[in-house]
Amino acid sequence: MLVFLVFLVIPAFAEMAEGILDAEIFVHDDYAIVVDGSTITTDVPPVEKGGVIFIPLRFAVQSLGADVTWNKIEKTAVISFDGGRTMRMTIGNPEVDLGDIKKIIPVPPFIFEGRTMIPLKPTAEYGLFRVEEKEDATIITSPEEMEGYTEPGIENIVGGTEKQGSLDMIREKALKDEVTKKLKPFVLAAWAVIGLLWLIKLITVITGRRSEGYKDMIIIGLFLTVGMYLVLYSGVMMSTYWAAIVILITSLIGVFSTETYSDKLVTMASTAQGAGLICTLFGLGLLIGPAIAQRDIAAIGYGIYVKIEPTITGLSLSILLNMIFGYEARRESA
């Protein structure tokens, strides 16, 4: 049902998704591509997308000493290396045809500023080059330049075997999700501000300026400390910042609410459910819209699997708050 709702809201996010798609591409003007000690200069600077470095097809082929055949209609490139090794890649398709087997790469080739951009590392590795990625450069060494070189098996290149676990790909995608990364500074800033507001409210309660006690402040404090730690730093979840937003919204409502303790529990429980669903739908809309446009199967799978985590977080908070409310109700009626 949730997935059905997501596809209903995708048209509403179409324009926004296009902007996110462009924002996912980062141009690295000062990034160096070094092949056997020589720096390669391209007409379009290397770009990063989904944590993968891309360069124009023509320059990649030239620098790796390969040949290429380009099918303009199908938008498919067939790269031929020495020894008869061929690699077929298609724009927007994460599936790479290596002849005997087909592999999935994290981010498919795409068009950027009129150039066909292909992933540098998997392409070079299939050509039996050694690839070392650094913060400001990719260092590529050809087999003949390496001492004690052993040709890798095909299962060790182009992103792992064709039977690589999909969960591993999802985790890799989660770590490189640019939209989620952009949330980090805002989430941490909101965490600090709401934590400060909570501390001020707690001091007000302790100094006796509020009569209904401080049990709700303890619950909110646990959300802001234990809950945020579990979500952000424990590694329990992969969609950390979206799930963290649910906790922050629920805590903020609790801090500012002037309701009685019991009523506040109900309000926070409803808020948690709603915030979880909204964050899930919004996160899915931003991710799956561009993913469908690119036919990025890995991103679609990542989105459906990971972006549901805010809903899980909201439901968990709601269940906990309702349990506390039920306990308080039974205690008052006893």
Q: Which of 129, 164, 199 is the last residue of a domain?
A: 164
* Collapsed DSSP state (helix, strand, coil) of residue 260: coil
Instruction: Say whether pLDDT at 306 is over 50.
Output: yes
- 281 vs 146 pLDDT, higher one: 281
pLDDT score recorded for residue 198: 93
Q: What pLDDT is attached to residue 147?
A: 53
The H-assigned helical ranges of the chain are: 2-9, 14-23, 57-63, 120-126, 166-175, 178-206, 215-222, 228-232, 240-256, 261-294, 297-306, 309-333
Note the pLDDT tens digit of each residue in 23-66.
Answer: 468 888 889 999 988 898 888 899 988 788 999 998 888 888 89
Whether 247 and 270 share a structural domain: yes
The C-alpha atoms of residue 21 and residue 278 are separated, in whole angstroms, by 21
| Domains held by the chain: number | 2
Q: Which of 108, 134, 164 is the last residue of a domain?
A: 164
Q: Is residue 17 situated within a structural domain?
A: no
Q: What is the CATH number of the domain that holds 148?
A: 3.30.457.10
Question: Is 14 among the domain residues?
Answer: no
Question: pLDDT tens digits for 129-148?
Answer: 888 888 889 999 987 655 55
Residue 22 located in a structural domain:
no
Average pLDDT in the 151-178 region?
53
Which of 48, 12, 11 is closest to 30 using CA atoms? 48
Higher per-residue confidence, 26 vs 248: 248
Same domain flag for 149 and 184: no
Please report whether residue 5 resides in a domain: no
Q: 103 and 190: one domain? A: no
User: Structural domain of residue 92, as residue ranges?
Assistant: 31-164
User: Is residue 8 in a domain?
Assistant: no
Q: Are residues 119 and 196 in the same domain?
A: no
Taking residues 110-138, report their average pLDDT.
89
Q: Is the same domain home to 125 and 213?
A: no
CA-nearest of 116, 105, 44, 47 to 76 is: 116
Three-class DSSP category at 53: strand
Residue 213 counted as domain residue: yes
Highest mean pLDDT: which range of 77-86, 95-104, 154-163, 249-258: 249-258
pLDDT for 78 equals: 93
Contacts of residue 47, defined as CB under 8 A and 6 or more positions apart, other chains included, come to 25, 26, 27, 28, 53, 54, 55, 112, 117
Are 187 and 61 found together in one domain?
Answer: no
Are both 158 and 194 inside the same structural domain? no
Same domain, residue pair 213 and 239 = yes
Q: Say which DSSP state 153 is in.
A: P
Q: Is the predicted pLDDT of residue 297 greater than 70, yes or no?
A: no
* 18 in a structural domain: no
**Between residues 152 and 13, which one has the greater pLDDT?**
152
Residue 292: predicted pLDDT? 66
CA–CA gap between residue 143 and residue 262 (Å, rounded)? 70
For residue 223, the 8-state DSSP code is: I
Residue 131 φ then ψ, to 5°: -120, 130
206 and 85 in one domain?
no
Which of 188 and 181 is assigned the larger pLDDT?
188
Share of the chain above pLDDT 90, in %: 29
- pLDDT one-digit tens code per residue, 39-51: 988 888 999 887 8
Q: Same structural domain for residues 190 and 146? A: no
Burial (CB < 10 A; 0-12, 13-18, 19+), residue 213, is exposed
Dihedral angle computed from the Cα positions of residues 46, 52, 56 and 57, in that order, rounded to the nearest 10 degrees: 160
CA distances from 172 to 52, 160, 235 (A): 11, 12, 13
What integer pLDDT is reported at residue 293 of this predicted model?
63
d(CA 269, CA 265): 6
- Residue bearing the bigger pLDDT, 162 or 328: 328
Residues 301 and 199 in one domain: yes
CB 213 within 8 A of CB 205: yes
Q: Which pLDDT belongs to residue 5?
A: 37
Residues 159 and 181 both lie in one domain: no
Distance CA 286, CA 60 (A): 31
Phi-psi category of 128—alpha, beta or left, where left has phi over 0 and alpha has psi -120 to 50?
A: left
Quick check: is 303 in a domain? yes
Mean pLDDT estimate for the chain: 79
Last residue of a domain, one of 164, 196, 228: 164
**What phi and psi, each to the nearest 5 degrees, are found at residue 116?**
-80, 115
248 vs 165: CA distance, rounded Å: 33
Lowest mean pLDDT segment, chosen from 67-81, 161-175, 211-225, 279-293? 161-175
